[in-house]
């Protein structure tokens, strides 16, 4: 690849002689030329600028000087012997046939250009010659870019970011480095391109560490044990989770552009933990908020509870039995009682911006802004002033042991009474997030045994609970609308920290 930089400060570009770019130039992998624009001036003062036509502050770079320089450089020989034809005669706008032969791109760095991204770098890395026209002052007369474009030269006005530099040189250096390192042989280890930020994953790179393992109070053995495990699959998952967490925090715009079809279950769970949900079939992830339920949620919550409960019922139950159960246990009155009771923690998952209908579906499939798509209820076994337990708390099965907390703290049991997610958003990591939230809430309450009953036939739910750290301890019978169902009983002891697979630190 031939690189030409035209500038009035050739010394500014001396840094290109250093490091990997300098070595690539010395080894012939790149063919780097830096030109002084003033070599194409003809007056005694070597003038390159003039006042703006139409008035205004500053100076504008002269098209005649730039034209003379670029005519020569665009015609320069390429490594490998290809010689450029002179730029063609300008043709009418909209009729700009590209020149045939080697691909030459005239890059004009400018804060008003389109934004230079990794995609731009990848594209430019495929060119045979890049010519950087570095403007100073108020920029280069706009006819210069227009002329070469009309002659069939590929012209790109590019900005490296939303800030203004004193000239195009620093921007050209940035672009040259980003492009050159993508050329074969320029980087020592081409693998490093694959995983870095802005590579094909659409995510920022995960944090990286090296020895010593413990440094100034940061001990990776404590904070990043997975990285020291030697388990490549777990390391890869952990790093991907961290890349997702970091991108969600720093560049939510990148998360909003991910394609759910390219995400696996672990990715979806990591996204949900970080405030995004990527349902299969959706065009892109949408924001997700997991928060305590408030009075204003009551109507939507009752509707969600009534809609989601039947999904978890065994097929042996009739619709009437299910309806009878909902009427008593998931009524707006019951939920209102729970909202008022400090011993009950109701958490909801909300889509603050809603969810557009999947591509090809009607708007009926869309969810409105503020839609509730999941909820959990934790009921603590605490007596009120009248000696009564919270409404709707199931009898604790004998298989559930309730140990005292650390340092002899009081034993306290709570039932994880509900975790339900709208069927349209299944497998999107919302249940896991609601569970993690419930565990963290009961941990703060000093609960020493969090138990639940779930239908014995519902393997999917049991797997999700196991993933969250619950272990099966027994069974119970549970009545739904007068019909007796067999439940599995599972327990988690929040004070005994179980590993939560897939959690990033
Ligand atoms: N010249 C001045 N500011 C610039 C920017 N942000 N990007 C590219 N070229 C520039």
For the Cβ of 110 lying below 6 angstroms from any atom of ligand 1, the answer is yes
Predicted local distance difference test score (pLDDT) of residue 189: 76
pLDDT at 86: 67
Highest mean predicted confidence (pLDDT) among 96-105, 227-236, 355-364: 227-236
pLDDT: which is higher, 96 or 67: 67
Residue 265 has pLDDT above 70, yes or no: yes
| 12-52 pLDDT per residue, tens | 999 999 989 999 999 999 999 999 999 999 999 999 999 99
Q: How far is the CA of 388 from the centre of ligand 1 (A)?
A: 70
Q: What is the pLDDT of residues 381-398, one digit of tens each?
A: 999 999 999 999 999 999
Dihedrals φ, ψ of 359, to 5°?
-55, 135
pLDDT in tens, 445-473: 999 999 999 999 999 999 999 999 999 99
Are the CB atoms for 57 and 137 separated by under 8 Å?
no
How many Å apart are CA 209 and CA 222, to the nearest integer? 14
What's the gap in Å between 15 CA and the centre of ligand 1? 18
Domain boundaries, the chain: 2-190, 206-283, 288-492
Q: Which two structure tokens, joined as six digits, stand for 273?
A: 């933990």
The answer, yes or no, to whether residue 87 has pLDDT greater than 80, is no
pLDDT one-digit tens code per residue, 173-185: 999 999 999 999 9
> Where does 288-492 sit in CATH, by number?
3.40.630.30
To the question of domain 206-283 being in CATH 1.10.1270.20, the answer is: yes
The residue with greater pLDDT, 246 or 82, is: 246
Q: What is the average pLDDT across 108-122?
A: 97
| Collapsed DSSP state (helix, strand, coil) of residue 94 | coil
Q: What is the pLDDT of residues 289-316, one digit of tens each?
A: 999 999 999 999 999 999 999 988 888 9
pLDDT tens-digit readout, 307-356? 999 988 888 999 999 999 999 999 999 999 999 999 999 999 999 999 99
d(CA 221, CA 87): 62
DSSP-H helix ranges across 4-162: 19-26, 63-74, 118-124, 143-150
Whether 134 lines ligand 1, by a CB cut-off of 6 Å, is no
Task: Give me the residue label for tokens 């005669």.
Answer: 89
With a 6 Å cutoff on the Cβ, whether 191 touches ligand 1 is no
Backbone φ, ψ for residue 371 (5° rounding): -60, 135
Q: Does ligand 1 lie within 6 Å of residue 111's CB atom? A: yes
**pLDDT for the residue numbered 504:** 39
Specify burial of residue 414 (Cβ count, 10 A radius: 0-12, 13-18, 19+): buried
CATH number for the domain whose boundaries are 2-190:
3.40.1280.10
Ligand 1 centre and the CA of 263: distance in Å? 35
DSSP conformation class of 30: S
Which atom of ligand 1 is closest in space to residue 158's alpha carbon?
8
State whether the beta carbon of 109 lies less than 6 angstroms from ligand 1.
yes
Mutation to probe ligand 1, out of 114, 170, 173 (largest number of atoms < 8 A from CB)? 170
Q: Is 164 in the pocket of ligand 1 (CB under 6 A)?
A: yes
Q: With pLDDT > 90 as the criterion, what percentage of the chain qualifies?
A: 84
Band of pLDDT at residue 500, cut at 50, 70 and 90 = very low
Question: Is any ligand 1 atom within 6 A of the Cβ of residue 162?
Answer: no
Mutating to test ligand 1, I would choose from 140, 159, 166 the residue with most ligand atoms within 8 A of its C-beta, which is 159
Three-class SS of 339-396: HHCCCEEEEEEEECCCECCCCCCCHHHCECCCEEEEEEEEEECCCCCCCCCCCCCCCC
Give dist(CA 181, CA 187) in Å, integer. Answer: 6
> Does the structure show a pLDDT above 70 at 218?
yes
Q: What's the whole-number average pLDDT of the chain?
A: 92
CA angle 347, 351, 353 (to 5 degrees): 150
Please count the CA atoms within 13 angstroms of the CA of 349 that sit on its side-chain side.
33
- C-beta of residue 51 within 8 angstroms of C-beta of residue 217: no
Is the Cβ–Cβ distance between 442 and 414 less than 8 Å? yes
pTM of the model: 0.86
Pick the more confident residue, 263 or 80: 263
């Amino acid at each position: 690849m031939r690189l030409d930089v035209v500038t009035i400060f050739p010394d500014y570009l001396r840094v290109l002689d250093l490091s990997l770019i300098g070595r690539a130039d010395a080894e012939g992998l790149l063919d780097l030329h830096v030109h002084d624009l003033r070599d194409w001036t003809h007056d005694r003062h070597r003038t390159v600028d003039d006042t703006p036509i139409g008035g205004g502050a500053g100076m504008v770079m002269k098209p005649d000087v730039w034209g003379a320089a670029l005519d020569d450089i665009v015609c320069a020989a390429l490594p490998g012997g290809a010689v450029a034809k002179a730029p063609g005669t300008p043709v009418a706008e909209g009729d700009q046939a590209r020149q045939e032969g080697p691909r030459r791109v005239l890059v004009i760095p400018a804060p008003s250009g389109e934004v230079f991204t990794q995609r731009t770098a990848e594209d430019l890395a495929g060119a045979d010659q890049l010519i950087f026209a570095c403007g100073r002052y108020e920029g280069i007369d706009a006819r210069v870019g227009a002329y070469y474009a009309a002659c069939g030269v590929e012209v790109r006005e590019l900005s490296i970011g939303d800030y203004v530099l004193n000239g195009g040189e620093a921007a050209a250096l940035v672009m040259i480095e980003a492009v050159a390192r993508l050329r074969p042989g320029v980087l020592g280890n081409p693998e490093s391109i694959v995983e870095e930020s802005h590579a094909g994953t659409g995510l920022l790179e995960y944090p990286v560490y090296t020895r010593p393992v413990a440094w100034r109070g940061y001990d990776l053995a404590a904070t990043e044990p997975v990285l020291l495990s030697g388990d490549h699959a777990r390391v890869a998952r952990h790093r991907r989770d961290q890349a997702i967490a970091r991108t969600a925090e720093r560049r939510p715009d990148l998360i909003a552009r991910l394609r759910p079809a390219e995400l696996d279950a672990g990715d979806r769970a990591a996204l949900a933990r970080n405030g995004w949900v990527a349902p299969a079939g959706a065009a892109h992830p949408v924001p997700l908020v997991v928060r305590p339920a408030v009075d204003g949620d009551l109507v939507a919550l009752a509707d969600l509870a009534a809609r989601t409960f039947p999904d978890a019922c065994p097929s042996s139950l009739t619709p009437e039995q299910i309806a009878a159960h909902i009427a008593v246990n998931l009524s707006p009155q019951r939920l209102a009682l729970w909202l008022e009771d400090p011993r009950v923690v109701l958490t909801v998952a909300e889509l603050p911006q809603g969810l557009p209908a999947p591509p090809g579906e009607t708007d009926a499939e869309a969810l409105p802004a503020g839609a509730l798509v999941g909820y959990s209820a934790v009921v603590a076994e605490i007596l009120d002033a009248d000696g009564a337990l919270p409404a709707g708390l199931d009898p604790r099965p004998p298989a559930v042991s309730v140990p005292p907390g650390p340092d002899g703290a009081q034993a306290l049991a709570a039932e994880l009474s509900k975790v339900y997610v709208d069927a349209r958003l299944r497998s999107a990591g919302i249940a896991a997030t609601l569970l993690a939230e419930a565990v963290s809430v009961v941990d703060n309450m000093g609960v020493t045994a969090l138990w639940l009953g779930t239908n014995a036939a519902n393997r999917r739910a049991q797997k999700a609970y196991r993933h969250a750290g619950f272990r099966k301890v027994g069974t119970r019978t549970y009545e739904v609308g007068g019909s007796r169902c067999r439940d599995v009983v599972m327990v988690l002891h929040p004070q005994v920290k179980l590993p939560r697979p897939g959690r990033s630190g």
